[in-house]
Chains A and B, each alone.
Chain A
Amino acid sequence: MTSKFYDHLIIKEELTAELDVHNLDAEEKAELITLIDEIFHHHTFNLILSHLPEKHHSEFIAKYHKSPHDKDLLVYLKDKVTVNLETEISTLAKKIKKELLEDVRKSRAKS
């Protein structure tokens, strides 16, 4: 996945480190990381679009597609939303990460 403007708000290292200690082959691990990235992406966008007035959606998406990594997108969003979006994204990401970590830990084979 390409880098995103919100990447710095989502700390995924703990998750990738947890995957590292297991016997996953490179392909399995890469697929899981892609899926995990998509989960964060969907939730983050759902959150952003829920706070961003609908009239700005298409403009925001066009800007995003033009430059998905551009941190000015956050500046653009901050102008148009009434909440602290960075805090909201970080909080949501922590919750998702916790759930995913639990999934990884619960999948340890019983031997």
Chain B
Amino acid sequence: MLIDSAQLRSKVKLKQFQSENLLKAHHPQAYKLLTSSAIAASLMLSPAQALPTQAALPSTSTSVLVSSFDIRQAIKDQLKTLLPPRLEPLTPTQEAALTELFHQDFGIHAVPELEGNRLNHVYGYIGAEQHLPRFPGDTAFQHDAYIDAGITPGLGAWGYVPDSQKEKYYVAVQTLYLPDWQVRLPYLRDWYKFRKVIVVNPDNGKAVIAVIADSGPSYWTGKQFGGSPEVMHYLDRKDGAQKGMVVLYFVDDPQNQIPLGPLEYNLEKGPPRLT
């Protein structure tokens, strides 16, 4: 018999949260004693073991201690209400709400327009790209994973991608269709080169930080973005008939402090932990 386990988990999690709050509200001193002693006992019993993540809470909760699963669930639930069901341009209100959401849940500043630059789409279909060459003679077999994805016969739009991490987590965006691309080519080419972005799959709430390292896909493919094998795998996005949509925003990270790869916790608050 099938069950919607995510839905059930959310319901049970909410009840757990409510029951804990009830105890905390009715007996604050006793609750403090209960939890502080439990933590002390846990520390004494297993000093080298990581403490368990505190139960996840719904977005309305006041707690900051949430696991990556809960962040994904929160993002997924909120995107469901924010995004249009079909591919269409987002309104300024929707765009602003996404910026707020990404800041609230991931602790990053992500925007649809940065330094006066914006893509034609921030919400669209993503297709699977191949690996990009990192150096002359690079082959798919020399990459850490997803060898079957192959490697592009030519270079990326910005040449070799010498940084392996950037090659792993890259996206292709349609810079070639920007209205001012030809006019401002020298400036825009440099501006977009390895520009940091966040890509979010609204169907599962998974997010990845990547860089722009290629141009495409062509408009006739019906897709607006391309993702490296690692990006597509992490986001659980497929190509072809099963293609799905993503949100892609610029990440405002002038100090280059945000690491590339899966984004599984709120960067401002740090990894989930029990305090």
Mark A residues whose CB is within 8 Å of B: 21-24, 28, 31-32, 35-36, 38-39, 42-43, 45-46, 49-50, 57-58, 61-62, 64-65, 99-100, 103-104, 107-109, 111
Bound Cα distance A99, B12 (Å): 10
Task: Please list 29 pairs of residues, one from A and one from B, whose beta carbons are closer than 8 Å in the complex, sorted by A's number.
Answer: A22-B5, A32-B9, A39-B12, A39-B16, A42-B19, A43-B19, A45-B30, A45-B34, A46-B19, A46-B22, A49-B30, A50-B26, A57-B33, A58-B30, A61-B33, A61-B34, A61-B37, A62-B37, A99-B15, A100-B12, A103-B12, A107-B5, A107-B7, A108-B2, A108-B3, A108-B4, A109-B2, A109-B3, A109-B4
- Closest chain B residue, CB of each to CB of A42: B19
B50 at the binding interface (Cβ < 8 Å)? no
Residues of A within 8 A of B55 (CB): 35, 38
How many angstroms from the CA of A106 to the CA of B80 in the assembled complex? 21
Inside 8 A of B5's CB, which chain A residues have their CB? 22, 24, 28, 107
B37's closest neighbor in chain A, by CB? A65
Chain A residues, Cβ within 8 Å of B11: 103, 107
A108 shortest CB reach to chain B, Å = 5
CA distance A46 to B27 in the complex (A): 7
Closest 3 CB pairs of A and B: A42-B19, A107-B8, A22-B3
Q: How many chain B residues touch the partner (CB < 8 A)?
A: 27
* Cβ contact within 8 Å between A38 and B27: no
- Chain B residue nearest in CB terms to A52: B30
Bound complex: CA A111 to CA B188 (Å) = 50
Query: What B residues does A45 contact at CB under 8 A?
Result: 23, 27, 30, 34
How far is B6's CA from A23's CA once the two chains are assembled, in angstroms?
12
- Minimum C-beta distance from A20 to chain B (A): 10
- The answer to the question of B29 belonging to the interface, with a C-beta cut-off of 8 Å to chain A, is yes
Shortest beta-carbon distance, B42 to chain A, in Å? Answer: 11
Question: Which residues of the partner chain B approach A100 to less than 8 Å between Cβ atoms?
Answer: 12, 15
- Does B268 have its Cβ within 8 Å of any Cβ on chain A? no
Is the CB of B41 closer than 8 A to any CB of chain A?
Answer: yes
Name the A residues within 8 Å of B8 (CB-CB). Answer: 32, 103-104, 107
Chain B contacts with A in 1-59, Cβ cutoff 8 A = 1-5, 7-9, 11-13, 15-16, 19-20, 22-23, 26-27, 29-30, 33-34, 37-38, 41, 55
